[in-house]
Amino acid sequence: MNVVGVIGAGTMGIGIAQVAVQNNKKVIVIEVNEEVLSKSKANLFKTFEKLVEKEKVTSEQVASFKSAMTFTTQYSALKEADLVIEAIIENLEVKHSVFKKVEEIVSESCILASNTSSLSIASMSAVLNIPTRFLGIHFFNPAPLMALVEVIPGVQTNAEVTELVKTEMLAWNKKAVVVKDTPGFIVNRVARPFYGEALRIYEEGIADFATIDWAMTHFGGFKMGPFTLMDYIGNDINYTVTESVFEAFYFDPRFKPSFTQKRHKEAGLYGRKSGKGYYDYNENAQKPSPTEDVSLGKYIFDRILAMLINEAFDALFMQVASQEDIDTAMKFGVNYPKGLLQWADEIGLENILQTLTNLFEEYGEDRYRPNPLLKRKVQSVQ
């Protein structure tokens, strides 16, 4: 694959274009909005200069990157593309119209991909003349820094296309994992309890935001606690992902969104970007102190981690991805300190099952049901 087309020069598109050009591809960036196009181009070129200052690349390399890139509003420029990655607004109708247009321009052998976070690959491929060449290539934000790429074949994708794209992503120095076309793929599905269970613990009055964050960073080694992370991602975005995963799983209570986060979203308390979320980011604001109670902290950590591990087991049980890929995805897509399935082995599967069984018995809620694969594995060693 020598020529890569990227559609959309927003946050993700421009990042993907940077990754492609730094891997010696000729890159064509298509954007409908001229202002966005020139701003994104200027920002990317500034990034290149910064990389030269940091001695990550040479100025000769930057000159070749720049000359290998085309920035345009004209779709016809995609004619020579071997691979086209779409990163436009998350709207099925708009994506359909874009792919129909692209298919009229590119060659028959050109692979078409979407960077969608929440739409199914099957639904997007439905409008294509050659759906076998279509799949998901899901980068994480910021694309140049995050190592993970989820490669998602749809029901109609040719196996060779999946293999080719996986090989290409590995050549781009990415950790490429192959994922079934299911809601949230790996990361946005398996990570849900990190937020959801933390919110539930808060709503039950067990602990405040700062204490829950302390428990997860102190006992778990997570870089950020759930509330700090939700404020960082933005409560508007994080809530919307939770809601869409919940709906896509036919309202499975495991993914039930929280009123606390909904109210924060409704009030405009998005987090860092709005100045206030669960925490106050204004200059003179005082950061609340956690209650550093060891038994409380351990309870919080054990409960959230058990829920995360249960979700990782569910993804494995439903053959969403391999054990290795599920662990790789969480380490490199959300920077977890360890893969969840490896972590489960270290703690002991019977201990995880016990934590979940206790929660299930105490609450009687389907949300806490232990995964059958976890149960089977514990039984098989007894």
Among 3, 21, 30, 69, binds ligand NAD (CB under 6 A): 30
- Residue 89 as a binder of ligand NAD (CB under 6 A): the answer is yes
Contact status, residue 199 vs residue 258, Cβ threshold 8 Å: yes
Q: How far apart are CA 257 and CA 255, in angstroms?
A: 6
Answer for the pair 179, 150: CB distance below 8 angstroms, yes or no. yes
Establish if 339 lies at the interface with ligand NAD (CB under 6 A).
no
Task: Report the residue from 88, 201, 308, 315 that binds ligand NAD according to the rule CB under 6 A.
Answer: 88
User: Is 117 an active-site residue?
Assistant: yes
Q: Is 36 in the site for ligand NAD (CB under 6 A)?
A: yes
d(CA 382, CA 158): 42
Q: Which is nearer to ligand NAD, 90 or 208 (CB)?
A: 90
Contact flag: residue 90 with ligand NAD (CB under 6 A): yes
Q: Work out whether 127 is an interface residue with ligand NAD (CB under 6 A).
A: no
Give the tokens for residue 342.
């490896």
- Interface with ligand NAD includes 9 (CB under 6 A)? yes
- CB 17, min distance to ligand NAD, A: 11
Options 27, 81, 87, 169; binder of ligand NAD; rule CB under 6 A = 87
Query: Cβ of residue 187: shortest distance to ligand NAD, in angstroms?
Result: 10
Q: Which of 86, 103, 150, 197 is catalytic?
A: 150
Least spacing, CB of residue 356 vs ligand NAD, in Å: 30
Check residue 43 for interaction with ligand NAD (CB under 6 A).
Answer: no
32 is a site residue for ligand NAD (CB under 6 A): yes
Smallest gap, in angstroms, from Cβ of residue 96 to ligand NAD? 11
98 binds ligand NAD (CB under 6 A): yes
Based on the residue annotation, tell me whether 282 is a catalytic residue of this protein: no
Residue 255 CA neighbour count, 13 Å, CB half: 24
Annotated catalytic residue: which of 125, 188, 235, 258? Answer: 188
If one asks whether residue 42 binds ligand NAD (CB under 6 A), the answer comes out as no
Please tell me the distance from the alpha carbon of residue 281 to that of residue 278, in angstroms, as a whole number.
10
CA distance 36 to 53: 26
Report the nearest approach of ligand NAD to the CB of residue 108 (Å): 22
- Catalytic residue chosen out of the listed positions 40, 114, 115, 117: 117
Binding part of the chain for ligand NAD, among 5-13, 204-212, 291-299, 329-337 by CB under 6 A, reads 5-13
Instruction: With beta carbons less than 8 A apart as the criterion, state whether 255 and 247 touch.
Output: no
Q: Which 139-178 residues touch ligand NAD, going by CB under 6 A?
A: 139, 141
Contact between 302 and ligand NAD by CB under 6 A: the answer reads no
Which amino acid does the sequence have at 327?
D
Identity of the residue, 96 or 377, whose beta carbon is nearer to ligand NAD in the bound complex: 96
CA 220, CA 301: separation in Å to the nearest integer? 7
Smallest gap from residue 147 Cβ to ligand NAD (A) = 14
Kindly indicate which of the ranges 111-119, 191-199, 316-324, 359-367 contains the residues binding ligand NAD, using the contact rule CB under 6 A.
111-119
- Whether 150 is a known active-site residue: answer yes
Say if residue 250 is exposed, middle or buried (CB neighbours under 10 Å; 0-12, 13-18, 19+).
Answer: exposed
Active site residues: 117, 138, 150, 188
Binding site for ligand NAD (CB under 6 A): 7-13, 30-33, 36, 87-90, 94, 98, 115-117, 139, 141
